[in-house]
Amino acid sequence: RFEKLWFGASLVLIVAFVGTIVYGAIGPGVAMVGDDGGTIEAAAVSDGNFEQTENFREPGVYESTDGDGVDVYIVARQYLFNPGTAEPIEVPRGEEVTFHVTSADVTHGFNLAATNVNTMVIPGQVAKFDVTFEETGEYGIVCHEYCGSGHHTMAGQLHVV
Ligand code: CUA
């Protein structure tokens, strides 16, 4: 009788372990939502070369063309965010901030610490998502995808002013 009990208990544990692993693999970094509920979409760069895409030649913060909020163009590469690492990205509070993030080399991650802003940054694609920051503050930007020997140093700052 006890054997049956132990067998049942082991089975439950095994299922729980597998569930945890599957969740860990699928859960983070796939489809996340901006603070305002805006969805993150990945749009392929038309010609597969981000240098050819307007505004990625000079990454930075731009007034939105529709007159509402700002657009931020960020290029990730081993092992920095441009802008973000050398100088903080400054965005206005209470306005729609549309992020456009791409990679110049390998797959990186883009995570705003202490928020649910979290996306993969894939070469040849642009991760685009909207966030409205209701409070001023400073956020750390963290690369959360292993991207090479300097991965752990890859970080930046975003200031909401
Ligand atoms: Cu870039 Cu890890």
pTM recorded for the entire structure: 0.70
Give the containing element (helix H, strand E) for 25: helix 2-26
Q: Report the separation in Å between the CA atom of 11 and the middle of ligand 1, taken as the mean of its atom positions.
A: 38
Q: Note if the bond before 73 is cis, omega within 30 degrees.
A: no
Q: Report the separation in Å between the CA atom of 107 and the middle of ligand 1, taken as the mean of its atom positions.
A: 7
Q: Report the separation in Å between the CA atom of 133 and the middle of ligand 1, taken as the mean of its atom positions.
A: 25
**Rounded to an integer, what distance in angstroms lies between the CA atom of residue 122 and that of residue 145?**
10
- Strands 108-112 and 118-121, bridge-based pairing: antiparallel
Mean pLDDT of 126-151: 96
Q: Please tell me if the CB atom of residue 101 comes closer than 6 angstroms to any atom of ligand 1.
A: no
Q: Does residue 100 contact residue 73 with C-beta atoms inside 8 Å?
A: yes
Could you read off the pLDDT of 116-134 as tens digits, one per residue?
A: 999 999 998 999 999 999 9
Reading the block at residue 71, the tokens are 């657009």
Give the containing element (helix H, strand E) for 73: strand 70-77
Q: What is the ipTM of this complex?
A: 0.99
Q: Please tell me if the CB atom of residue 77 comes closer than 6 angstroms to any atom of ligand 1.
A: no
Could you read off the pLDDT of 60-80 as tens digits, one per residue?
A: 999 988 778 999 999 999 999
What pLDDT is stored for residue 50 in this prediction? 55
Q: Please tell me if the CB atom of residue 142 comes closer than 6 angstroms to any atom of ligand 1.
A: no
